[in-house]
Structure formats: structure tokens, C-alpha cells
Amino acid sequence: MSDENQQDTPPPAENGQSAPENPPRLAILTQYVKDFSFENPNAPASLIQGNPQPNINVSVDVQARRSGEQNFEVDLHIAIEAKQGDNAVFVTELVYAALFALENIPAENLQPVLLIECPRLIFPFARRIIADATRDGGFPPLMLDPIDFAQLYQQQIAAAQAQAAEANQPN
């Protein structure tokens, strides 16, 4: 093939259309434990074999904020409380964060990317920290089920809309 026949245009995409010049890009620059605690308040009594299975309550929150022109910090807050009756078996709280570089993301897609896709990418690392901490605390490792961040995002949007509608109601 001669050099004369080659062109500088990108090859067509699979659907026959040209690939965008500036495709969206998401990159994890760094990830880290921002805050972490594990409490085992009733040890060693809580570690005795034969205790009934504790009731475990898990709450999750995601926060995102700009940290530069194209960088965003996303915090994944996970709080877990395991109780037997009124007694705490263990309590753990983790804020696992990451710094993301986002490029060429349309403004209308920025919030869903930050609150759905970014926490989805870092969740496995937070899950491992919690599993290791509960195991190191003397309990079986707590393996959190995958979280549907899209559903969590929709719930946050619905709650914000309901709060705004309530604030606009005449007294």
C-alpha cells in the first residue's frame, strides 16, 4: 500500500459514523481512605461462639465536589451498625474517596457520572476495607452486596424534589 492512499481521518466507528474528536474521558487520579473507624464495644463478650446473628444496618451516601478545573473528588460514605437487641456488636464508618479527572462530559451528564459511575468504580475497594476490618475485629468478614448507585441517585433526586415542593407550599 502506498503512503499516498492513507488519509489523516480516523476510521469510522462500528455504526458507520466517525468517532467524536473529543470523546468523554473519566480517569481515577488517586483513591484513598479519608476517614475510617471500627468499634467493637462489647468485646470479648460479642465474640463468643453461639451468639445469635446480629441485625446489620447499612447506610450509604455519595458526595462530589469540584477540585480543580476538570478534577472532582467523590466521597463514598458507608456506615454500618450491627446490633443484638439494644447492644452494639460492632460499628464501622468509612469515607472512601477518589479524585477523578473528567473531560468532555456534557454538563447534563456530569452529576450522574459523579454520583453513579464514579462510586461504582471505587466501591469494590471500600467493600474490601470493610470486610478486612470486620474480620480483623474478630467477626466473619462482612461482604457488602453490590450497591445500585443509579437507584440511590434517583432516590436522592426524588427526595430533593419533594423537599423543594414542600418548601414552595403556601402556609
pLDDT at residue 53 above 90?
A: no
Q: Which region among 15-19, 47-51, 78-82, 106-110 has the lowest average model confidence (pLDDT)?
A: 15-19
pLDDT at residue 54 above 70?
A: yes
pLDDT band for 2, please (50, 70, 90 cuts): very low
What's the pLDDT score for residue 45? 77
Tell me the average pLDDT across 131-157: 93
What's the pLDDT score for residue 85? 84
Burial of 133: CB neighbours in 10 Å, binned 0-12, 13-18, 19+: buried
- CA-nearest of 36, 63, 85, 42 to 149 is 63
- CA-nearest of 165, 9, 154, 131 to 58 is 131
pLDDT at residue 4 above 80?
A: no
Q: Is the peptide bond before 44 cis (omega within 30 degrees of 0)?
A: yes
In the chain, the percentage of residues whose pLDDT exceeds 90 is 57
CATH architecture of 33-160: Roll (3.10)
pLDDT band for 165, please (50, 70, 90 cuts): confident
pLDDT at residue 11 above 70?
A: no
